[in-house]
Structure 1
C-alpha cells in the first residue's frame, strides 16, 4: 500500500510540469501510473477516463482523484487532488495578487516549448489508448466518427450528446468480451464503502442547498454558489469553464471581461488543472488569498463528491453486462473526443511554423523512442521554445 506522502509527492510533481490542459494531463497520468508504476492496467485506466468524462466536473482531476482512491481510499483521493492542484492554485493566486497580465518574451517562449511537449504527450496517450481499445473495424469507425462529429460540432452540449450517442451504440452493439475481467481496486475499500457513497451524495445536494440559501440571505456571497454550480454542472473539461463563469452575474459584476480573459490565458499557460481559474477569481472578487483557496475548493468539491458517490460501487457496476456495453461505447467515444481535442485545443495555436513541427518531432523522439524521463524532456522543451521563438 502506498503512503499518503508518496501519493502526494507524485501528484505534486505532476502538477508542477503537466502543461497542456486536461487532455495532456491524461497523457501524463498514463505515462506515470500505467506505463511506469503500473498502478492500474490500460483497460482500467480507459474505464476510469470514460467514467470521469461521463460525470460533471474536471475530468482529468477526477481521474487523478480516482487513482488516489484506488491506492488509499477517500484520503488518497484528497491527497492526490491536493498534490496535483496546489502548484496551479498558488500560481493563479500569485498572478491575481500581482495583477500580472503580461509575460516577458523569454517566458512566453519557454511556455510555448512546454505546449509543444503537450502535443507529443497527448498524441502518445491517444495512440496507446487506441492500441488497447480497438478490436475491430467497427471500433475504429466509432472513434473516427466521434472525432469528426466533435470537430464539426464544437461545444460542451454537442460533446455530451455525441458521447451519449456513443454510449447508445455501445449498448446496442458492443460485446462484453472486449473487456478484460480483471479485479479493480476501485471497489469498496471496506464495509463502510456504501456509507461513504451515500454521505457523498447527500453532501453534494446539501452543500448546494446551503450555498443557495446563503446567496439569498447574503447577496454578496452569491459568487460562492456560482462557482460551486459551475463545478457541479460543467462537462467538457477546463476549456468550458470560461464561458460558464463569464455568464455568472455575481462574478462579472465585479470582475471585468478583460480581467477574466487574462486569468483564463494564464490558466492555460501554467501547469495543472485549468479549473484553478476559480483561484484567480476568488482573489479578484475582493476576498484575497482566503477567497482564492475557498473558490478552489468550491469548484472542485462537487466533482469529488460525485466521484465518491460512484467509486465505492465501481466493481459491481463494471461487471454489469448492460453497463459494460454502454461504457465500451463511451470509452471509444472518449478516445475520439481526445483525438479531436488534440487538434482543436492542443495543436491549433501551438504548432504554427516549420520550426514548431521540428521541435515536436524531436521531443517525440526523446520521449517515445529514447524513453527519456519527462523532467528531462521538459527542460529540453523549454530550451526548444526559446529557439523556436528566436527562429
Structure 2
C-alpha cells in the first residue's frame, strides 16, 4: 500500500480519489443517502462505503476505515460523525453542514409528521415494511463486512486481530466492548503490523485549522459544564430541553440504541411525554432512513411543555447532534499528523482490523438476530446481498425491492 491509492471495487482495481467538489454535490449525495439508508449506524457505514468510497471515490478505503475508527472512539452518533467528516473533506465547512442536513432532515421530517399524527405504519403491511427494511440492513452490513475484510484484513496477523476483537465484543457487550476492541486492535497492530514497510497514508485535507479544532473542543466542554448551571439559573424549559439532549449526545458511546435509556429517564420520568408515546416514536424511528438520533425530533414535537412542535424538534435535534459534531471537528485537524507516524500507522492497521471484527459481530447481533426469523427471510437477505455484491445494483433499488418483499411476505 503506497500513496493515496484507492480500492475502486471489491475485485481490487485501484484509482486515484477524485478532485474535491462543493457543498451542492455533497448535499445531493447525502440527500440520496438520507432517503435510502435504512438499518442503523452499522448499515449506514456500509451505505457510505458503497456510495462515497467505491462509487464516487471521495476517499480511499484506508482513509475511510481510519475515519470510522476515529468516530468509534468518540461519543455521539458514529455514522453521522463519519458523514459530517466526509462532507467537510469534500466541500469544506459548508459541505459538512450540507452533509449533516441532507442525511438527518429527511428522517427528522418523517418523525415530526409521525408525532403530529401522520403515521402510516399500522397493520400487516406496515409491519412487513419495517421487517423488509431490517432485511435490507442484513444485506448492506454483510456487503460492508465482506468488502472491508478483503481490504483491511488481507494477511494472517490482521485477520487474527479481527477474530480476537470479535471475541472481545461478544464477551464485553455494548459500547465499552467496542471501545476496548479498538484499543486492543491498536495495541496488537503496534506489535504485529510493523513488519511491513511503512507507507505514507493518503493525506486527508480537512479544511480546518488546529486553532478551530481547539475552539471546538473548548466549546464542547463549556457547554457540557455550563448548560446544567444555565438551566438551573434560568428556569426555562427550552434551556432545560437543550441541556438534557446535549448531555445525552455527549455522554453516550455506541449510537442511537444506547441513548434510549438516557432519553427515557430525561423526558418520560419528568412527565414531558408518556411512556406509550415514547415507545411508539421509537418504533417509528426504526422505519425511517437516516440516523436514529433523529428520534429526538419526534420527542421535541410530541412532548407536552412548550417549546414543542417544530420548534421543540429543532431544539432537541440540534442539541443531541451538537456534541458529537464538535468533538469530531476538534479531532480532525490533528488526524493527519497522527496518521503519518509509523507507530500510529501500525496501530491504525490493527484498529481497522478491529473495526472489521466489530462490524462482523454487529452483522449477527443486532442486525441478523432482529431481522432473519425464518428461511424466507434468509432468502430475501441473500438475494439482496447478491444484488449488491455480484450485480452491483444501486442500494436504493435493493431497499425498494427488499421492502416490497417484506410487505409481500407479511400479506401472504
**Equivalent of 2:66, from 47, 66, 70?**
47
Q: Match for residue 140 of structure 1?
A: 159
Deviation of 1:137 (Å): 2.0
Alignment partner of 1:340 is 2:342: no
Q: Match for residue 329 of structure 2?
A: 308
**Equivalent of 2:204, from 171, 185, 193?**
185
Deviation of 1:182 (Å): 3.5
Q: Match for residue 273 of structure 2?
A: 255
For residues 320-350 of structure 1, what are the alpha-carbon distances to aligned partners after superposition, in whole Å with 9 as ceiling and x for unaligned? 2333333333222222111111111111121
For 1:101 and 1:145, locate their aligned partners in 2 and report how far apart those are by CA, in whole Å: 44
Deviation of 1:199 (Å): 1.9
For 2:195 and 2:41, locate their aligned partners in 1 and report how far apart those are by CA, in whole Å: 29
**Equivalent of 1:331, from 340, 344, 352?**
352
Alignment partner of 1:4 is 2:38: no
Q: Match for residue 214 of structure 1?
A: 230
**TM-score normalized by the length of structure 1:** 0.93
For 1:3 and 1:133, locate their aligned partners in 2 and report how far apart those are by CA, in whole Å: 29
For 1:308 and 1:377, locate their aligned partners in 2 and report how far apart those are by CA, in whole Å: 33
Deviation of 1:84 (Å): 0.3
Structure 1 residues 53-64: aligned runs within 5 Å: 53-64=72-83
Alignment partner of 1:26 is 2:45: yes
Deviation of 1:81 (Å): 0.6
For residues 145-179 of structure 1, what are the alpha-carbon distances to aligned partners after superposition, in whole Å with 9 as ceiling and x for unaligned? 22233223322233333333333333443327477
Classify 1:65/1:145 alpha carbon distance in 2 versus 1 (closer, same or farther; 3 Å): same
**Equivalent of 2:116, from 82, 87, 97?**
97
**Equivalent of 1:129, from 144, 148, 156?**
148
Q: Match for residue 150 of structure 1?
A: 169
Deviates more, 1:36-45 or 1:128-137: 128-137
Classify 1:334/1:179 alpha carbon distance in 2 versus 1 (closer, same or farther; 3 Å): farther
Q: Match for residue 258 of structure 2?
A: 240
SS in 2 for 1:161: helix
SS in 2 for 1:311: helix
SS in 2 for 1:247: helix
CA contact (8 A) 1:46 1:331 kept: yes
For 1:244 and 1:158, locate their aligned partners in 2 and report how far apart those are by CA, in whole Å: 19
For 2:120 and 2:240, locate their aligned partners in 1 and report how far apart those are by CA, in whole Å: 26
Q: Match for residue 8 of structure 2?
A: none
Deviation of 1:71 (Å): 0.9
Classify 1:389/1:101 alpha carbon distance in 2 versus 1 (closer, same or farther; 3 Å): closer
CA contact (8 A) 1:151 1:344 kept: no
Alignment partner of 1:267 is 2:285: yes
Q: Which runs of 4+ in 1 moved over 6 A?
A: none
Gaps of 5+ in 1: none
For 1:100 and 1:151, locate their aligned partners in 2 and report how far apart those are by CA, in whole Å: 37
**Equivalent of 1:166, from 177, 185, 190?**
185
CA contact (8 A) 1:43 1:180 kept: no
For residues 88-112 of structure 1, what are the alpha-carbon distances to aligned partners after superposition, in whole Å with 9 as ceiling and x for unaligned? 1111111122285962321221232
CA contact (8 A) 1:246 1:252 kept: no
Q: Match for residue 5 of structure 2?
A: none
For 1:133 and 1:358, locate their aligned partners in 2 and report how far apart those are by CA, in whole Å: 28
For residues 213-236 of structure 1, what are the alpha-carbon distances to aligned partners after superposition, in whole Å with 9 as ceiling and x for unaligned? 222113434232121011112111
Deviates more, 1:32-41 or 1:308-317: 308-317
Q: Match for residue 105 of structure 2?
A: 86
CA contact (8 A) 2:165 2:358 kept: yes
**Between Structure 1 and Structure 2, how many residues are aligned?**
388
CA contact (8 A) 2:142 2:385 kept: no
